[in-house]
Amino acid sequence: MSNPLRDMEKPDVIFCIGTNMTECHPVAATRLKKAIRNGAKMIVADPRHIGLSDMADINLQLRVGSDAALLLGMAHVIQREGLVDAGFIADRTAEAEAFLEHVKEFTPEWASEICGVDPALIEEAALLYGRAERGAIYYTLGITEHICGVDNVQSLCNLALMTGNIGREGTGINPMRGQNNIQGAGDVGAIPNNYPGFQPVTDPANQAKFAKAWGREVDLELGITKVRALEQAGDQIRAMLIDGENTLVTDPDRKHCEHALKSLDFLVVCDLFLTETAALADVVFPASGFGETDGTQTNTERRVQRLRKAVPPAGESKPDWWIVSQLAQRMGFKGFEYDSAKEVFNELCSLSGTYAGLNWDRIEFGEYQWPVPEDGHPGTPRLHEDSFINGRGIFKMIRYRDPAETIDDDYPVWLTTGRRLESYHSRTQTGRSSGIDYLLPEELLEVHPDDVSAWGIRDGGWVNMSSRRGSVRIRVKATKRSPRGTVFCSFSFNDVPVNVLTGSGYDPVTETAELKVCTVKIEVETETGGVAAD
């Protein structure tokens, strides 16, 4: 996030796209509600009618996978109406002239043909955001889990750069992280192209720095993503360690994923519970929970926080850092002789410029948002206030691309997936709560009432939903939250393994799976247990 969470109360125009915030980030969403009560206007773009839609001044119910077209249409209007911030563009951006010429061809009428939103609504949204004194953008996985996820994010950056809505209070580009320490995981180097502190692994200076710190040679090439690791399982990769992730439930194309894990010679899983993935493992290390562990977490606004053990670990469970450290030592690796989470964190601070001004003792009682580049620095709640780290903000020339699959006669229905307020992710933890089971006892397929009638299915009845990769049996819920021709469900329930269906493509840059859109067919379950075509 470029801006702190407290800035969510400060915009005069809020643009939420691909984020079902009231269900996925309900605490943060209260800040947006406060901003609206104080007079802020809100634009919401989502394929479904979500909770935010009820609060929106402009609701853009677009076709799944068409975000880039909508954003290009908005950029066209902002350029055409002269709502660009010429001073900001001249002082702080690059490639602006080419970009402003580029977007002239993407009219609201063109965008409407793709995304299904009325051209007048696209114009209205663009004018509202373009005229804002403080316009803030919020997004989540509804934008990124597409084959064009990078294009979508860069399109949002283009809007902010055009209008100068970045580097100031109540503005910015603000991704809401999907889990409590996702930001921290990236910070410490749990991504294949960076050392801790987002330092590129291909930079010779970084290679020398980490080789010296760790007392050994370091890899000189980029690592691989999980997508590639699963593709190589059983071939180039013979063993795998999965820590804190229920891969079998949350990853796309479940059959492919299960085959990959079973192809390994040896699988190790670290987790709190015996998940579906852990059940496939040769060895399971029981990990301790957040209340049983000392450590740190870095949240969605880059706030570094102490995590303090409240109770002893259950049974023989241990902190994840201890498990990895002991495993590495017993495999003969040097440099893993840690005695505490404090030692691990202080090493991070010594090697990462964004954490350089921090240490374990300083964060004991203080609150800091990185970058904290030196001792005594107060932290950086708001990024890009005076300049961009790499010099200038660069406009990107984006064009629309269809999803990896589009509807046809064989698979005529769009499926999009997401999370629900009552449960969390793969339900590894929330699925063990009887209270949550009472609120959400099963997964349901949300279908527009007109489609329920047209397809010959019934509210509360069972259907088989199939894609080119597999099929699941699921109960129908008639609701106008889903538009005609699009159905929705979460991936949380293992007895409705929705990710059997997904996985038709990946973003070429990040290799993020297109979990948010695939094409399916809906077949009515007959009394004999078979199916009849819709």
C-alpha to C-alpha distance for 63 and 111, rounded to whole angstroms: 11
Residue that the structure tokens 């209070």 belong to: 169
Percent of the chain with pLDDT over 90: 82
- Residue 469 in 3-state DSSP? coil
**Per the structure block, which two tokens stand in for 223?**
């690592």
Give the torsion sign (CA, 288, 21, 140, 383).
negative
CA dihedral 15, 19, 24, 30 (to 10 degrees): 10
Evaluate if residue 534 carries a pLDDT over 70: no
Q: Which distant-in-sequence residues (6+ apart) come within 8 Å of 400 by Cβ?
A: 66, 68, 69, 72, 114, 148
Q: For the residues 393-410, what does the mean pLDDT come to?
A: 96
pLDDT at residue number 530: 52
Burial tier of 428 (Cβ tally within 10 Å: 0-12, 13-18, 19+)? buried
Element (H, E) at 296: strand 295-298
pTM across the whole model: 0.93
Domains of the chain: 5-176 (3.40.228.10), 182-351 (3.40.50.740), 413-524 (2.40.40.20)
Q: How far apart are CA 421 and CA 467, in angstroms?
A: 26
Q: What is the mean pLDDT of residues 139-161?
A: 95
376 near 433, Cβ under 8 Å? no
pLDDT above 70: residue 70? yes
Q: In the predicted model, is pLDDT for residue 217 greater than 90?
A: no
Residue 494 confidence (pLDDT): 81
Strand-pairing partners, residue 124, are: none
Q: How confident is the model at residue 529 (pLDDT cuts 50, 70, 90)?
A: low
Specify the DSSP class assigned to residue 67: H
Sign of CA dihedral 288, 292, 296, 300: positive
pLDDT band for position 527 (cuts 50, 70, 90): low
**Residue 133 burial by Cβ neighbours in a 10 Å radius (0-12, 13-18, 19+):** exposed
Closest among 418, 519, 504 to 466, alpha carbons compared = 519
Confidence (pLDDT) at 350: 96
Rounded to an integer, the average pLDDT of 377-402 is 94
Task: With a cut of 90, say whether residue 531 has pLDDT above it.
Answer: no
pLDDT at 413 over 50: yes
CB of 354 closer than 8 Å to CB of 197? yes
Q: How is 171-227 classified by DSSP, letter by letter? A: -EEEEPPSSTTHHHHHHTT-STTEETTTEETT-HHHHHHHHHHHTS----S----HH
Residue 112, exposed/middle/buried by CB under 10 A (0-12, 13-18, 19+)? Answer: buried
Mean pLDDT of the chain: 93
Distance of alpha carbon 520 from alpha carbon 451, whole angstroms: 14
Using 50, 70 and 90 to split pLDDT, how confident is the model at 334?
confident
- CB neighbour list of residue 29: distance below 8 Å, 6 or more residues apart: 21, 22, 51, 52
pLDDT digit string (tens) for 422-454?
887 778 888 888 888 888 888 999 999 999 999
Average pLDDT in the 357-375 region? Answer: 94
pLDDT of residue 493: 82
β-pair partners for 44: 16, 59
| 265-292 residue pLDDT tens | 999 999 999 999 999 999 999 999 999 9
pLDDT of 533 strictly over 60: no
Residue with tokens 């390994």: 264
Residue 528's pLDDT is 46
What is the per-residue pLDDT across 164-214, written as a single tens digit (0 to 9) for each?
Answer: 999 999 999 999 987 888 899 999 999 899 999 999 999 999 999 999 999
- 368-369, strands of its sheet edge to edge: 295-298, 303-307, 368-369
Per-residue tokens: 533: 């075509």
In the predicted structure, residue 117 carries a pLDDT above the cut 80:
yes
Give the list of residues 6+ apart from residue 110 with CB closer than 8 angstroms, or none: 69, 73
Is there a cis peptide before residue 371, judged by omega within 30 degrees of 0? yes
pLDDT at position 420, please? 86
Burial class (CB in 10 A: 0-12, 13-18, 19+), 216: exposed
> Residue 252: what pLDDT?
87
**Burial bucket for residue 205 (CB in 10 Å: 0-12, 13-18, 19+):** exposed
pLDDT of residue 480: 96
Query: What is the tens place of the pLDDT at every residue in 450-504?
Result: 999 999 999 999 999 999 999 999 999 999 999 999 999 998 888 898 989 998 7
Strand 58-60 to 368-369 pairing: unpaired
Sign of CA dihedral 16, 21, 25, 31: positive
Instruction: Compute φ and ψ for 175, nearest 5 degrees.
Output: -75, 135
Indicate whether 74 pLDDT > 90.
yes
